[in-house]
A and B are shown apart, each in its own frame.
Chain A
Amino acid sequence: MNLSDQIIQFLLSGFATGAIYALIGLGFSIIYNSTGIINFAQGEFVMLGGMVTMFFLTSLHLPLPAALVGAVAITTVVGVLFERLAIRPIRKPTPLNLVIITIGGSILIRGLAMLVWGKDTHAIPGFSGEEPIQLGNASLLPQHLWIFGITTLVIIVSKVFFNYTISGKAMRACAFNPRAASLIGIDVRRMVLFSFIISSAMGSMAGFIIAPLTMTSYDVGIMLGLKGFCAAIIGGMSSGLGTVFGGIILGILESLGAGLISSGYKDAVAFVILLLILFIRPQGIFKRADSERV
C-alpha cells in the first residue's frame, strides 16, 4: 500500500468520522441559535439514541425501523423533560447558570443510563450488513453511507425549516432578540422547547447511526459531545453548512494527524484547532464577525 492509497483511506475515514461530528455539532448550534444556550447535554442525547436502540433491539426484539423510531421518540421526550424541568424554571437565565445546568443535566442523564443499562459496552448490527465496500484501494462500510445520507437529509430539512416555515423563522427571531420577538407575539418559551425537541431528536439520530460502527455505552456522550462542540465552534455555531464543514475538517485533520504524524496526538489535534479558532477567529472560520446567525 503506497502513500497515496494511504492518504485516500485517511481522507475517507476522516470524512466519515467528520460527518458524525457534524451531525452532533448541528444539535449544539440549533439550540444555541434559537436560545443562546450551549447545551452540554447534547452528547447524552447521542448516547441515548444508541442505547435506547440497543435496548429495543436486544431486550424487546423489535425490528430495526421500529427500534429507531422508538429511540428518537424516547430521546425527544427526555429532551422535553430536560427543558421543562431544568431550563424553564430558572428565574434569571444567565449564560453561566445555563451552562452549569446543562452540564449537571448531562451527568444526571448519564448516571440514570448507567443504572438502567449497566456499564457494559453494547453492539448494534449494521443497518445493511458489514461487508466492506471497496473504493479503489480504500474501503468503507455500508453504515458510512447511512451516515452520509442521514446527515445530508438532516441538513436539508433543517435549512428548509429555518428559512421557509413560520416556526423556523420565529425561532431565529427569538435568537436575535427574545424581547422583540415576544413583543410581536412569538411565544419565546415555546420556541425554546421546540429547539430542544429538534436537537434531541437530531442527537438521537446521530447516536443510532454511529452505534453499529463505534458501539455504545452509557459514557460515550462525553467525548462525542466535545467533538461535536468543536465542530460547531469551527463552523461558528451556524446551523447550516458551516458546522458541517467544521465537522468534516475536524474529522479529516484527526485522521491525517493520526496517520501521517502520530496517533498519540490525535485528540490533541482537535483541541488545538478548537483553541486556535477561539483565539483567532471566535466567530468561526466561515463568516465575518458581524454576519447573521443561522
Chain B
Amino acid sequence: MKRLIAALIACLVVLTAGTALAETLRIGALFAVTGPASFLGEPEKNTLEMLVKDINSKGGINKNKVELIVYDTQGDVTKAKQLANKLIKNDKVAVIVGPSTTGETMAIIDDAEKAGIPLVSCAAGIKIIDPVKKWVFKTPANDQVAGEKILNYMAQQKQKSIALLTVSDGFGSSGREQLKALAAQKGFKIVADEVYGPKDTDMTAQLTKIKGAKPDAIICWGTNPGPAVITKNVKQLGIKIPLYQSHGVASKKFIELAGADAAEGVMLPAGKLTVYDKLKKNDPQYKILSGYDRDYRKEYGVEASTFGGYAYDAFLLIAEAVRKSGVTPDKIRSGIEQVKKLVSISGVYTMSEKDHNGLDLSSFVMVRVSKGDWEIAQK
C-alpha cells in the first residue's frame, strides 16, 4: 500500500512537472452537454474538441500546445458555479469558454472577475456584457441585433404596425422588451402584444385576436416547437399578414416541423451558417463557414449548428489573442479586447473596451422560406 502511494505521488510529480515545463495553454470549458439545454452544449463541446485536436496536430498556437478541459454543467446554475471554481482553482486554466446559457454565465461572472480569468461566454443574453465587465466577453450576437434586422427590413417594406407574439420564457420576454423599445425608437406601432407558453399546443386564440387588430406584420419570438405551431395556425386561420420569426428557429428543423407548405413565405434573421451555401462566393465568411460545416460533418456525421459556431468563435478569439499577445490570462484578455475584423462563424468581430461582443447587423441576413428551403431576402 505504501509503495502504491509512493508510486502515485511520483506519478503526480512527474505529471505536474511535465505540464510546467511545456508551454501549454489550458482552456477550460463549461457546456450544458446533457440536460434541457443540451442542444446548445453538445455541438459546442464537439466543435471545441474538434478545433483543439486540429490545432494540436498542426503544432499548437504559436507552438503552444492546447489542453482542453471540458465539464458538463447539465444546464444547472449551481453546477456551473462549482465547476467554474474547479477550473480556476484546481485546473488553473488560463481562459474559460462557456457556459451555454445566460443564467449560468451570470452566475459565474463574479468568480471569473475575482480570479482574473477571461470568460468567453457562448450565451446570448445582453446582460452578460451590458454593462461591460473587464474579464467577460460573449460570442453570440445580441437578440437586439436580430430584432433590429427585422424592423429595418419591415421599414423597407413600408410595414408600420406590428403584432407581437412571444413565448413566455426568458428568450421570449427579453425579445419582447427589446422589440417594444426598438419599435418605439423607430416609429413602429404595436397594435397587439400576445404571449404563449413554451409547451402550448394551440395558438389560434391569440392569432384570432391578432387578426382582429389588423397589423401590417406579425413578429413571433420563440424557439421550437411554438413558432412551428404558430406557423401552422396562421395557415389554418387563413391569415395573410406577413409573418416574421426570430433567429431562434433559424434551422431546417423549423421548416420540417411547420411543413414546407405552411412555412412558405415566413421570414427571419438568420446567422450566415444557416444559408452559407446561398451566399456569394466572395462573402468574407464563405470560406470559414463552408470549411466548418464540412469538417463537422466529417467528424460527427451531422451538419454544423449555429450553436456550435459560438464555441468556434470563442476559440478563434482566444487563438487570435494568444498569437498577438500571449498565453497568460491577462494577455489573453487584452488580446481579445483588441481583436479587429476577425472573420468567424457568427460574424466579423471587432472588439473594444466598450463592446465585448463585437458583432453588428451584418452578422445576420434576412431569409425567406421558399419551397421548403431558405432563400436570401436581403443582405
Contact = CB atoms under 8 A, between A and B. Distances in A.
Nearest to A260: B209
A267 B200 CA distance: 9
Interface string B202-223: 1011101101100000000000
A210 B206 CA distance: 19
A57 interface: no
DSSP class of B's interface residues: helix, strand, loop or mixed? helix
B261 interface: yes
B169 to A, nearest CB: 12
A99 interface: no
B240 interface: no
A16 interface: yes
A185 interface: no
A255 interface: yes
DSSP class of A's interface residues: helix, strand, loop or mixed? helix
Contact of A141 (B196, B200, B212, B236): B236
A132 B197 contact: no
B238 A120 contact: no
Given A10-B208, A13-B205, A215 B257 contact: yes
B201 A17 contact: yes
B250 interface: no
Interface stretch (B80-88, B90-98, B180-188, B225-233): B225-233
B212 A264 contact: no
Interface string B247-265: 0000001001111011000
A120 to B, nearest CB: 7
Contact of B208 (A13, A123, A220, A264): A13
B49 interface: no
A16 B257 contact: no
Contact of B202 (A130, A134, A214, A222): A214
B178 interface: no
B224 interface: yes
A84 interface: no
Nearest to B198: A223
A210 B256 contact: no
Interface in A226-260: 254-256, 258-259
Nearest to B224: A121
B219 to A, nearest CB: 15
A205 to B, nearest CB: 16
B168 interface: yes
A181 interface: no
A259 B262 contact: no
A1 B212 contact: yes
Contacts of A119: 36, 38-39
A277 interface: no
B257 A258 contact: no
A1 B204 CA distance: 14
B194 interface: yes
Interface in A129-165: 130, 132, 134, 139-141
Interface string A1-23: 11100100110011011001000
A211 B169 CA distance: 23
Given A9-B237, A132-B236, A217 B225 contact: yes
A281 interface: no
Interface string A262-276: 011011000000000
Given A123-B256, A217-B225, A258-B205, A264 B236 contact: no
B235 interface: yes
A214 B229 contact: yes
Contact of B228 (A3, A215, A224): A215
A77 interface: no
B317 to A, nearest CB: 29
Contact of B199 (A130, A223, A258, A259): A223
Kindly list the 4 A-B residue pairs having the minimum CB-CB distance in the complex, ordered from nearest.
Answer: A214-B201, A258-B205, A259-B205, A13-B204
22 contacts: A1-B211, A1-B212, A6-B208, A6-B211, A6-B212, A10-B205, A16-B202, A120-B39, A121-B257, A123-B228, A132-B236, A132-B238, A215-B228, A215-B229, A217-B225, A223-B199, A259-B206, A259-B209, A263-B195, A263-B205, A264-B195, A267-B197
Given A13-B204, A123-B259, A256-B205, 18 more contacts: A1-B208, A10-B205, A16-B202, A17-B201, A123-B258, A125-B259, A130-B259, A132-B237, A139-B236, A139-B237, A139-B238, A213-B201, A213-B202, A214-B229, A259-B208, A264-B195, A266-B205, A267-B197
